[in-house]
Structure 1
């Protein structure tokens, strides 16, 4: 998992509440057995004028010029600014994969659906909860394609106007993001202890391992 320490990126303002996981990555793409390749299908139903699926080349589909992601001001955006209850709906982890595959490193909103929020930390995406009045002010600042700098160790956001906004985050989750540790990486930190247990178990109950 990619570590998150400091990040500066263009902000994509998505002025919508209750953006659900089916909007983030529609159900027809869940058939893929891979964890990558979902970036072109992020916000698929809003992003394209034509229906799509895994067998339809995205190059053949018409972009929706009115959707934020297709606005040239937000090209290459890596920070998503949204309204309350972002990531609601089904528990599909693919929603975070699609955001991460596209290049989104951070999502800021007044609130998140719990499962989506937890999935972000497992996949290197930083979800930041901010008060609605702070989110309102940020929308005003970034409407023309501005950049923000997020400093996770310091737990601050530096805005285009020079403000430093503090945010809260669980200490354990923060440490995992800073170190780039997903669930597997966290487990492998205890690899020596695990191997020692397995060897002891093999020696004390060898009949369980007989071929």
Structure 2
């Protein structure tokens, strides 16, 4: 996965709370190989029942939504569906914990904003879209003409910028890990298994 620092594109609003991972991608589509892409299944049932849904009319890079986004199961395919659709950042008051970790590991920013800010943005976006600019380094965004700041865990920022998952992040410390291992083996040789 490639990292990123800046997003420029459109933002759309999803004025719904408690959007869970089964809504983001219904289980019946998860037998599809990831190589075929999951974007077409994003919010499939919601979009099918509402032909005028904003995601049927546009492909935003930024999504603004209400609290508890990505709750439910640990379904990583929910993040795949968002990323494959083209969404790179989701702004909400809160997220499912496992969803947030999966998001960062797959290049998707889960940015928390106060509820009043989210509600103002949703009112401005309405059923359409607006220009969006997200600066990961600065922790700022401009959505629908409004400047906002968001806090982000520094480790998450590093992972998003470099396109790293947890294994990539750990690999950056391979020299320290090797040194620790050699030192531990030398000091506690009795604890090492013999062959």
Alignment partner of 1:65 is 2:48 = no
Name the CA shift for 1:29/1:139 in 2 (closer, same or farther; >3 Å).
same
Which segments of 5 or more consecutive residues in structure 2 lack a partner in the other structure? none
Q: What is residue 165 of structure 1 aligned with on the other side?
A: 148
Secondary structure class of the residue paired with 2:148:
strand
Equivalenced residue count is 188
**Structure 1: 5+ residue stretches without partners:** 50-63
Q: Which structure 1 residue ranges, 4+ long, deviate > 4 Å from structure 2?
A: 191-201
Superposed, 1:92-107 pairs within 5 Å as 92-107=75-90
* C-alpha distance in 1 between matches for 2:181 and 2:167: 18
| Greater shift in the superposed pair: 109-118 or 138-147 | 138-147
**1:151 maps to what in 2?**
135
Using structure 2 for the length normalisation, give the TM-score: 0.84
Identify if the C-alpha distance between structure 1 residues 197 and 97 changes in structure 2 by more than 3 Å, giving closer, same or farther.
same
**1:31 and 1:199, CA in 2 relative to 1: closer, same or farther beyond 3 A?**
farther
Coordinate RMSD, CA, aligned: 2.5
Deviation at 1:187, TM superposition (A): 3.2
Task: State the TM-score, normalizing by the size of structure 1.
Answer: 0.78
Shift of 1:159: 2.9
Give distance in 2, aligned partners of 1:13 and 1:34.
Answer: 26
